[in-house]
Amino acid sequence: MTAPVSSAAPDTGQMRQALPLVSVRNLDVAYGAQPVLSGVDLDVRPGEMVALLGASGSGKSTLMKSLTGFAPVTGGTARVAGYDLTNLRRGDLRKLRSDVGQVFQQFNLIPRLSVLTNVLTGALHDAGPLNLAGGFSSRHRRQAMEYLDRVGIAHKAKEPARALSGGQQQRVAIARALMQQPRVILADEPVASLDPKLAGSVLQLMREIATRDGIPVLVSLHVLPLALEHCDRVVGLRQGRMLVSAPVSRLDADKLAGLYDEEGTSRDHH
């Protein structure tokens, strides 16, 4: 697991020369005879924020799920945080998932519990005998408050999660992911339910996490300008195949238009 965040920013250029923490080669995913992804390649290195783009049904969610063992890898190779998805040893799947922080479109918070407790649930994998009933250590509580302060909502710590706005709830979800001390963050449409201003602020926060902490972020998006503004690279899927893989400096909306058509629907499995 990564060490707690230090105040000194790491050398971003050096981080991006490091070995990728997500490495996918010629990946196939199929459900029975139904192919969903075919021949996908992907690298995500420390310090990077990579956008995953594509129309509804292009395979974005399936790719995300395949990286944590929730979708079957039926061909090719996939390594995430040092784990080989095609040859996971017994017991390693849980370890993999504890090393991967996940942020979802619907936040997946527990509405009645406090903001602080929701963040603390990110530490359940290493809390030992402690649990929601028995409480958490003072170290975990201090750490959770630090992350809430970092995402800008420490003042909401005692409020129930349901009392927060959508943008605030997503910040809680990001703090919860950080509480895992993840090696990688996967964010599946994390701003789809937010207005453009809030969406930009949430993506800016995630970009800061990638660059400052060295935690690579793979984020699926459906708004091209947000991807081009906040991410380092774009990987584009269409009908389960990789159509684009390039730095944002070499892309614009016209070059990405081919990702969006009326054909590739109903292939993505949610």
Closest C-alpha among 114, 191, 192, 190 to residue 153: 114
Q: What is the mean pLDDT of residues 5-14?
A: 47
Between the alpha carbon of residue 65 and those of residues 72, 80, 102, 180, 268, the distances in Å are 9, 12, 10, 18, 11
Residues 88-100, mean pLDDT to the nearest whole number: 88
192-249 pLDDT per residue, tens: 988 888 899 999 999 999 999 999 999 999 888 999 999 999 999 999 999 999 999 9
CATH-assigned architecture of domain 13-109+183-259: 3-Layer(aba) Sandwich (3.40)
CA R_g for the chain: 18
Q: Give 84's strand partners.
A: 79
Q: Which two tokens stand for residue 12?
A: 């971003």
Q: Where are the domains of the chain?
A: 13-109+183-259
**For helices 196-213 and 166-179, angle between their N-to-C axes, nearest 10 degrees:** 20
Cα–Cα distances (Å) from 163 to 42, 80, 148, 172, 192, in that order, read: 38, 35, 16, 12, 20
What is the β-pairing status of strands 100-104 and 241-247? unpaired
- pLDDT, one tens digit per residue, over 178-193 is 999 999 999 999 999 8
